[in-house]
Amino acid sequence: MTAMIRNLLAAATSALFLILTLECHLTASAFVSPTHHAKSTPQSWPSIVSRLRMEVIEADVAIIGGGPAGCTCALYTSRADLSTVILDKNPASGALAITSHIANYPGVDRSMSGAELLEQMRIQAVQYGTRYERAQVFMIDVSEEETGDNVYTKCVYTPDFTVKARSLVLATGAMGRVGNPIPGEKEFLGQGVSYCATCDGAFYRDSEVAVYGASTEAIEEALFLTKFASTVYWITPVDISRETASGLERNKILDQDLLEQLLSCKNVQHMEKTRLLEVVGDMSGVSGVRIKRFSNDDEEVLPVEGAFIYGAGAGSKPITDFCQSKVDLDDNGGVIVDADMKTSRDGVYAIGDIRNTDYKQVVVAASDGCIAAMSIEKFLNNRKMVKVDWIHK
Ligand SMILES: Cc1cc2nc3c(=O)[nH]c(=O)nc-3n(C[C@H](O)[C@H](O)[C@H](O)COP(=O)(O)OP(=O)(O)OC[C@H]3O[C@@H](n4cnc5c(N)ncnc54)[C@H](O)[C@@H]3O)c2cc1C
């Protein structure tokens, strides 16, 4: 797909969002059912927008993000008899999903991949009654004033349907990049610049792409891109290997297996000790990256259509764009929560990497999910105390 078509698609999607959002506000309140179970309500709007008709799903708990945080929360809320729906953009694109091996999650085999562990978490939640929907959330409403409803005070919008819920959990993780942007990076973000190969890699079938960064994350992402791109230029500002008396010595900080795997791919060109100076392009998106090798003063432009950037701070920007300032964030963009995982808005919780703490680990995300679920149960059932989950019927 060319960059031009990609951008046209993005513009068409924005226009659709506007129409769908309008229709959602009109129809959602008209079709609210008094029941509190995750169920679908068919619409019948007698106009041209009926062709864009949207389902409205009602639930006690709506969870945005199907990573370890979201799946654990869903497992607990479903077991507590709260109708629960997970809205997940892509089960293959979260931080756990792209982790090759997960050696430090208690009780699982060290050879298990992140994707396998996540699938087991998702299956377990679904087995307890969670409804899992693949959908990208683009907007939320979080109060009765916004939704016009005193039961379903939270509204979650996706291009295909709307969810009305009594409580809302934000669990979209952190995948963006913080730190000083490279010239052209912000300008072409979403138009060839990406921080997520797993999300966008398939757009670059038979194209040339650049991956910038000397981290294990960059290696994993570059490896993913080798399945699609004709050439992957892996650009690292540092030495990955150096000649010693005993032979070639690889950088020990990086995952050695993955490093060897990437370097052995025929469509990978590794450019060591090279700096990415600028992402260049035009109206139709990225057309190249300007680089400079440390060994000489010459600059050159690699003719790539995609630039995947994993410099310092990559993977640490919480995904909160769909929140539109409706919950309070800290200075680093993390959602602020109290000890119960509750945000600045009643009935809205935030768990996992979206909180942007220093402890971005699967076990921590799962723990956050459990705490949020137990406090949601207390909140929705007006309890004074948290109800424990280890009393089995
Ligand atoms: C390369 C790498 C290796 C790692 N290795 C380890 C390790 O070995 N051990 C360890 O404990 N931790 C590891 N981590 C950290 C760990 O993966 C994360 O801390 C954990 O996955 C966070 O869970 P989460 O549920 O908050 O977010 P994620 O796992 O990122 O899941 C977020 C989910 O939200 C979805 N989403 C995003 N935006 C939207 C939207 N708008 N609408 C709907 N859905 C959306 C995504 O598709 C995704 O499914 C690693 C991370 C990376 C990047």
Model confidence over 56-91: pLDDT tens digits? Answer: 999 999 999 999 999 999 999 999 999 999 999 989
Catalytic residues: 196, 199-200
Pick from 362, 363, 368 the residue to mutate for probing ligand 1's pocket: most ligand atoms within 8 Å of its CB.
Answer: 362
| pLDDT at 37 exceeding the cut of 70 | no
45 confidence band (pLDDT: 50, 70, 90): very low
The residue contributing the CA closest to ligand 1 atom 51 is: 95
Q: Do domains 9-175+316-380 and 180-312 have the same CATH topology?
A: yes
Q: What is the DSSP letter of 212?
A: E
Mean pLDDT of the 151-159 span: 96
172 lines ligand 1 (CB under 6 A): yes
Map out the domains of the chain as residue ranges.
9-175+316-380, 180-312
Ligand 1: residue whose CA is nearest its atom 13 = 361
Q: How far does residue 262's CA lie from ligand 1's centre (Å)?
A: 22
* Separation between Cα atoms, residue 269 and residue 234, nearest integer Å: 6
Q: Which residue's CA lies nearest to atom 20 of ligand 1? A: 362
* Residue 358: exposure state from Cβ atoms within 10 A (0-12, 13-18, ≥19): exposed
The rounded Cα 2 to chain-centroid distance in angstroms is: 24
The tens digit of pLDDT for each residue in 321-336 reads: 899 899 999 988 999 9
Mutate to test the pocket of ligand 1, among 99, 110, 200 (most ligand atoms within 8 A of CB): 99
Reduced to 3 states, what is the DSSP secondary structure of residue 170? strand
The stretch 35-61 carries a mean pLDDT of 56
Residue 71: how many other CB atoms lie within 10 Å: 31
Q: How confident is the model at residue 198 (pLDDT cuts 50, 70, 90)?
A: confident
The number of beta carbons lying within 10 Å of the beta carbon of residue 146 is 14
Q: What angle do CA 107, 102, 374 make, to 5 degrees?
A: 60
CB of 196 closer than 6 angstroms to any ligand 1 atom: no
Cβ–ligand 1 contact at 67 (below 6 Å)? yes
The HSE-up count of residue 32 (CA atoms within 13 Å, CB side) is 20
Residue 382, token pair as written in the block: 């007006």
Q: Give the homologous superfamily in CATH for domain 9-175+316-380.
A: FAD/NAD(P)-binding domain (3.50.50.60)
pTM over 0.75: no
pLDDT of residue 9: 46
- For all residues of the chain together, what is the average pLDDT? 84
23 lines ligand 1 (CB under 6 A): no
Under 8 Å between Cβ of 71 and 122:
yes
Ligand 1 within 6 A of 165 CB? no
Contact 247, 224 (CB under 8 A): no
pLDDT higher than threshold 80 for residue 128: yes
Percent of the chain with pLDDT over 70: 81
Instruction: Name 227's bridge partners.
Output: none
SS3 assignment, position 84: strand
Nearest ligand 1 atom to alpha carbon 98: 1
pLDDT classification of 206: cutoffs 50, 70, 90: very high
pLDDT at 364 over 80: yes
* Residue 280 half-sphere exposure toward CB, CA atoms < 13 A: 12
How many angstroms separate the CA atoms of 172 and 128, rounded? 22
- pLDDT of 35: 33
Residue 205 clears pLDDT 60, i.e. is over it: yes
DSSP labels, 233-286: EEE-SS-SEEEETTEEEE-TTS-HHHHHHHHT-TTEEEE-SEEEEEEEEETTEE
Decide: 69 in ligand 1 pocket, CB within 6 A: yes
For 180-312, CATH gives 3.50.50.60
Ligand 1 contacts CB of residue 284 (under 6 A): no
